[in-house]
Structure 1
Amino acid sequence: MSDINCIKHLRNEKGLAIDKIANTLNINWRTAKKYADESELPSSIIKPRKGMMYEEKWGTMVSDWLFEDAKEKKKLRRTNLQLFKELQIHDFPGSYRTCCNFIQEWRIQHDSEDQDRGAERLEHPAGEAQVDFGVMEAVEEGKSRDIRLLIMSFPFSNVAFYEPMPSENQECFLEGLKKLFDKAGIIPRKIRIDNLTPAVKKTRSKTEEAQLTDEFLRFQLFYGFETQVCNVRKGNEKGHVEKKVGYIRYNFFSVPPVITGLEDLSEKLLAFSIEDQYRKHYRKEVEIQALWEEEKLTLKNIPNPGYPVRKEALIKVNAYNEIKLDDTILHIPKGKNHIQLFLVSTWEKYQVITPDGEIIAEGPRPYMNKRKVLPWKETFKSWLLKPRVVEYSRYRQYLPGRIKDYLDIPSNHLRKQRIEQVLALLTRYPLEEINEDFYQHMMEDQPLEQNHPFDVNWNHYDQLGHQGGIE
């Protein structure tokens, strides 16, 4: 529009001829004539449908076939490819994609006549919470660790609390809820969840009532809240906590944080939750913390002591004194010597107990020590191409202390040499072992006559001794 305005200004205000305008603006004479003398009216963005499927008989034919197929059972309806082949019998000149696009549009339009595809905006009264898991990643002891983050959000005030757990089993789910209640300082009156396996017995149809597991029912009765299970495949019914999964991922876990354990991460997440309350609500234009204080008045107090989350089961060991827990084989010393054994498990540890109460085996649950090695070889290869990237790399904070100091030098040329040296060692040892026996590994593959950066040249001290500097 600015170009058109310039053309009309030169024509009407300056009185220039069409040829002069065309030469001045370096445009075609017909373009200058069109915009200089013709009226510029607004054009509608609503355009009639064009193409062979709308302007010729082909669209009508496909529509008639789809109407016919709608009356048949689903398995008897023709596929897109079959409809396309029937069109080709009638000399259809178009492509298969043209046919598919028309069929897709037709089905969307006609399916929506009977059922509204839009979602209804839900109102959330104070005292209601939504709970769900989200999978995140953190770095512990130089290795990557998957975190099952249990999130409890309150849509009325937009407050959320987060608790990291090692798994999504029933013990972790119930223990995570306990910890979330403690962080919030209250218990919600109603909790909305999806069809979580620890809480719902089985996958149900759209018409079947949700059946809660016995252990979750006991937990619910102890704390006195009500549970509302979402309909199958209706994640929008707990959309607030779904958005909180993305919110914490992009604002806290965008770069995997370095942690010393789940307790350390839990404390950091609590600090994040408290700090996040001092901003305005996205719709109510009131500080979240003020809304939270208002909502807490409608919530319940936490009973003391809390619910004891544990699972007991009668087990049998195999001929090799082994049991299976968390998809891991565990050896139970002299387990075969007992007719009965009981497995008592919490979210973080297990015990194998005899009927007399004797503990014959115990330890952390296998998933507590699950770690994944960071891709150090690929990382060092990329650093080798651009050594200056090391000091800004997202992986730098995960480097063990000695190796980090070894690469923390101003010279890119020397840094590249050191990257090559560590990369060569990575083909034989893990990075943690290189860091632990750092000086020994740095001397490998070095010629005897070559001075290493960490070697001491004793000749300097000998010279000082000859000069009288050392007695």
Structure 2
Amino acid sequence: MLTMEQVYRIRNMKKFEGKSLRKISQITGHDFETVKKYVHKEDFNQAIRPKQRRQGKLSPYRSIVTRWLINDKQAPHKQQHTAKRVYDRLKELYGDEFDASERSVRKFVAGIRKELQMNSEGFLPLEHPPGEAQADFGEARFIENGITYDGYYFNISYPHSNGGHMQLFKSANQECLLEGMKAIFEHIGGVPTAIWFDNMSTAVRKVKEYGERDLTKGFLRFMMHYGFRSNFCNPNSGHEKGSVENKVGYHRRNMLVPVPEFKDLKEYNKELLLKCDQDMNRMHYKGYGMIKDLFEEDRQEFFKLPKVPFEVYLHEFAKADNYGKVKFDGRIYSTSPGMAGQQVIVKAGAYDIEILDEDCNHIIKHKRLYGEEKESMNWIPYLELMSKRPTALKYTGLYNQLPQILKEFLDKSDYEGKKRTLRMFTKMAEAASFDTAIEAFEEGIRLGVSDTDSIWAIYCRLTTGTLPEPEVLLPDTVPELKKYTPDIKIYDQLIVPGGLQV
């Protein structure tokens, strides 16, 4: 089986160099049928593998150390990081989790410094024909459903037309990068022929000599799936993608002021794409014409979308604790009581987290947590189990984690009442939300009711505004009344000039 890099080379030689399949086979030494298979392959979605791959001890810290050393270029020489200072900062940040030696850090830092050696030969003017694009992230604050996030916005600009699109996210991780590109590709109905990036760690694993890059597997897979060519700026060379640098500022000033506030980020991102379309109804800053018309020239050069959409996700294996909860990215997500102590698969996208069992069967789905959010608890699977065994409820570890209002209500209920309450609460939470079910109980207790029928009536009022009207069945002895339609034409005879006849 060929590596991603080998597959990429084969496809690049065919698509961008125009070589025949037989010529590619001769150059690479791969079998003709193998070359043909990968040239015609359309779907590069990742299949979840049953085994994790271990990284080198210092690999997880490459991106943060690289960022420190790049930022040193703007600091006085005596205030730049030494290898010892890098070692000390990593120890301070990660504590016992960081167990590399100072000697290995010195070698690690020396290697990164060699990669980041600046090219002092001056700037080269760059030209961008129709169909090319540039991409970058900017930082932005926004409010979703009353919660404030210090997040990021992904920007794509088209230098030829000066058009652009953006997407708002709670992180700048690889899932957000790829989800942003995918959403924009699908919105514009095509794929830019080449996209310029900086050396973001979500795309570039290693900067090598002579401008070569080792790309992350996820980014490489995405790039091959959509068929675009990627170009990367030299370190500390933002001028090489000046179009998107300007677009980052333009989008912030025109799309993110005042601080945007909305209910759902995914839906808001759809609105942002439409706003970016409308923004193209203006003149190009150099007077070349309307941006929307120039963008049509870009669109004519775009590659077609692949037949199979790319599914953006990162997956990890995790073991559920005694309560059926798993930890991912420093945050806790519930699964179900039946998964306690078992291995599960965490499938993480930009917006959501899906948890699967070992056979890749769906267990539950959560909104992905970011910022100060630490735990997502979906009580439905737990409440279903507890409703079958209400007597044991108070002796489980989960009882203490239930909302106080629900615990108080259950404490006052008998055996059958506990079963009815838990079944009803589960039904409410499934139909509306956990918070709505809690609100119904809080409102009931405030009004002094304690029976489940009254609580259900309050829930119906909260969710529909009115109580459900049961169908009334009349007995056969009630006679059927004929329908009567009044004739209002007789009132026309009373109308005379100047008013009604009296």
Q: What TM-score results when the alignment is normalised by the length of structure 2?
A: 0.47
Question: 1: CA distance between counterparts of 2:362 and 2:277?
Answer: 42
Could you tell me how far 1:274 is from its partner in structure 2?
1.8
In the alignment, the residues of structure 2 paired with residue 336 and residue 127 of structure 1 have an alpha-carbon distance, to the nearest angstrom, of 49
Query: Which position in structure 2 is the counterpart of 1:214?
Result: 217
Answer with 281-290 or 326-335: which moved more: 326-335
Residue identity matched to 1:195: N
Q: Distance in 1 between matches of 2:270 and 2:217?
A: 31
Q: What secondary structure sits across from 2:239 in the alignment?
A: helix
Does residue 299 (structure 1) correspond to residue 294 (structure 2)? The answer is no
Quick check: 1:316–1:323 contact (8 Å CA) kept in 2? yes
* Structure 1 CA distance for aligned equivalents of residues 342 and 322 of structure 2: 13
Tell me which residue corresponds to 1:180: 184
Contact 2:155 2:244 in 1 (8 A): yes
CA shift for structure 1 position 265: 2.5
Cα pair 2:324 2:341 within 8 Å, conserved: no
- Measure how far apart 1:284 and its partner are: 4.1
Q: Tell me: CA distance 1:216–1:205, structure 2 relative to 1, closer, same or farther (3 Å).
A: closer
Partners of 1:348 and 1:368 within 8 A in 2: no
Q: Tell me which residue corresponds to 2:265.
A: 262
Whether 2:333 is the aligned partner of 1:330: answer: yes
Instruction: Tell me what 1:274 maps to.
Output: 277
- Matched letter for residue 189 of structure 2: G
CA distance in 2, matches of 1:262, 1:250: 19
What residue identity is the alignment partner of 2:302? L
Deviations 1:371-416 (A, max 9, x none): 9xxxxxxxxxxxxxxxxxxxxxxxxxxxxxxxxxxxxxxxxxxxxx
Aligned match of 1:198 = 202
Name 1:308's counterpart in structure 2: 311
Number of positions where the alignment pairs a residue of Structure 1 with one of Structure 2:
263
* 1:129-168 superposed matches below 5 A: 129-168=133-172
Unaligned runs of 5+ in 1: 1-77, 80-113, 372-432, 441-471
CA distance in 1, matches of 2:348, 2:275: 31
CA contact (8 A) 1:124 1:155 kept: yes
SS at match of 1:177: helix
Structure 2 residue runs without a partner (length 5+): 1-76, 79-118, 375-438, 447-502
Q: Which letter does structure 2 place at the counterpart of 1:307?
A: F
Cα distance, 1:319 vs structure 2: 6.3
CA distance in 2, matches of 1:242, 1:305: 32
The 3-state SS of whatever aligns with 1:196 is coil
1:135 deviates by 1.4
Instruction: Report the equivalent of 1:9.
Output: none
Q: CA deviation at 1:254?
A: 2.5
Amino acid at match of 1:325: F
Pick aligned residue for 2:346 from 337, 340, 343: 343
Choose from 247, 250, 253 the match for 1:247: 250
**Contact preservation (8 Å) 1:132, 1:242:** yes
What is the alpha-carbon distance in structure 2 between the residues aligned to residue 335 and residue 368 of structure 1? 29
Distance of aligned partners of 1:368 and 1:175 in 2 relative to their CA distance in 1, 3 Å threshold: farther
Aligned-partner SS, 1:233: coil
Query: What is the CA–CA distance in structure 2 between the aligned matches of 1:359 and 1:368, rounded to whole Å?
Result: 26
**In 2 relative to 1, CA 263–361 (structure 1 residues): closer, same or farther, beyond 3 Å?**
closer
Change (3 A) 1:368 1:358: farther
Scaled by the length of structure 1, the TM-score of the pair is 0.50
8 Å contact 2:155–2:165 — kept in the other structure? yes
Supply the distance in 1 between the matched residues of 2:258 and 2:319 (Cα, whole angstroms): 44
How far 1:271 moved relative to its partner? Answer: 2.9
**1:233: which partner in 2?**
236
User: Aligned residue for 1:126?
Assistant: 130
Map 1:360-399 → 2, pairs under 5 A: 360-367=363-370
Answer with 1 or 2: which has the greater Rg.
1
Q: CA deviation at 1:307?
A: 0.9
Q: Is the 8 A contact 1:149 1:162 kept in 2?
A: yes
Conserved 8 A contact 1:161-1:183: no
Structure 1 residue 336: Cα displacement: 6.8
**Residue of structure 1 equivalent to 2:41:** none
Which letter maps to 1:352? I
CA distance change for structure 1 residues 290 and 361 in 2, over 3 Å: closer, same or farther? closer
Question: Aligned AA for 1:280?
Answer: M
